Amino acid sequence: MKAAQITKPGGDFELVEREIPEPPPGWVRVKVEACGVCHSDSVVKEGLFPGIQYPRVPGHEVIGVVDKVGSGVAQWKVGQRVGIGWHGGNCGYCDNCRRGNFFACQVNLLTTGISFDGGYAEYMVAPAIALARVPEDLSPVPIAPLMCAGVTTFNALRNSGARAGDLVAVLGIGGLGHLGAQFAAKMGFKTVAIARGKDKEALARKLGAVDYIDSQQQNPAEELTKLGGAQVVIATVTNADAMTAVLGGLAPNGVLMVIGAPTSPLSVDPISLLLAQRSVKGWYSGTSIDSQDTLKFSARTGVESMNEVFPFERVAEAYDRMMSGKARFRVVLKMSE
Ligand SMILES: [Zn+2]
Ligand SMILES: [Zn+2]
């Protein structure tokens, strides 16, 4: 099979021929149809996590078909269409797992495309627990980003505490935010988009936002306050100052849900937190059942990722395009038939 691997931190993508992997007991082999290119793939490319074993094949926004099932796997059959996202598995028996906090597994937290080879390849193997069922009528390329960008925004929103009709603001209309705006609107929130400049307004409204705040021309906290205050702001941007700028626009008990990953610290005024009982909270992506829920919800409500599609062989170009920040809005690799 063909695979795109990174052999050392900072190395380039290498297209190589490899043996098609055999699924160990409890694992499943998937023939990859499409794989999204996510900013977190830079973790492998640049060696940003300790302990990554190279060569490594990145890719954690995978849609494909079950091709072979390892021994002891009861729930999957050859021919089923499945998705594999960021959460690649957990031990199931540590204290955190037994409390249901699978993302905080202390023993064997697996991340697809980081702990084991991911979807930048014609085939991959994954633990059976990492697989999400894909509704049959969805085609692979448009839904691949739902396995990371999609489940992250969907899951953050549905666990944010906002109730139907509440004002929910989506900060940033990019790869994450263009999905966040759709999910928020379809979930029944009064959805407000916040982005820099006027050029994203028309699109944000098309995605379901009823109001638009241009953070270059307007003060987002003041504008949100005029609208009654946001119960939740989903922060998808990678700029910590842009997050700080919306805090004052949270309603009493409002929550800033952080899912974008700035590399600089986030500054928060404690007085503004305590006087209005506001909070700042991070949200992990989700497990395979969260991804499955995301896919089902998207199929029913028509939420779609807007993608730039590249043939698999142009993986290096696709990665550079994603890293440039100019893609509208996600980048997806399509495997040849
Ligand atoms: Zn991702
Ligand atoms: Zn565990």
pLDDT for 46 equals 96
Counting ligands in written order, which one lies closest to the CA of residue 94?
2
How far is ligand 2, taken at its centre, from the CA of residue 97, in Å?
4
pLDDT for 169 equals 98
How far is ligand 1, taken at its centre, from the CA of residue 8, in Å?
20
How remote is the C-alpha of 113 from its chain's centroid?
A: 14
- Residue 294 near residue 303, CB atoms below 8 Å: no
How far is ligand 1, taken at its centre, from the CA of residue 295, in Å?
16
Counting ligands in written order, which one lies closest to the CA of residue 87?
1
Residues with CB under 5 A from ligand 1 (ion): 38, 40, 148
How far is ligand 1, taken at its centre, from the CA of residue 85, in Å?
8
pLDDT for 14 equals 98
pLDDT for 190 equals 98
| Residue 337: Cβ within 10 Å count | 4
Look up the pTM and report it.
0.96
How far is ligand 2, taken at its centre, from the CA of residue 127, in Å?
14
Tell me the two tokens of residue 98: 């037994």
pLDDT for 67 equals 96
Print pLDDT tens along the chain (337 aa).
999 999 999 999 999 999 999 999 999 999 999 999 999 999 999 999 889 999 999 999 999 999 999 999 999 999 999 999 999 999 999 999 999 999 999 999 999 999 999 999 999 999 999 999 999 889 999 999 999 999 999 999 999 999 999 999 999 999 999 999 999 999 999 999 999 999 999 999 999 999 999 999 999 999 999 999 999 999 999 999 999 999 999 999 999 999 998 889 999 999 999 999 999 999 999 999 999 999 999 999 999 999 999 999 999 999 999 999 899 999 999 998 7
How far is ligand 1, taken at its centre, from the CA of residue 279, in Å?
25
How far is ligand 2, taken at its centre, from the CA of residue 89, in Å?
9
How far is ligand 1, taken at its centre, from the CA of residue 146, in Å?
9
How far is ligand 2, taken at its centre, from the CA of residue 87, in Å?
12
Counting ligands in written order, which one lies closest to the CA of residue 98?
2
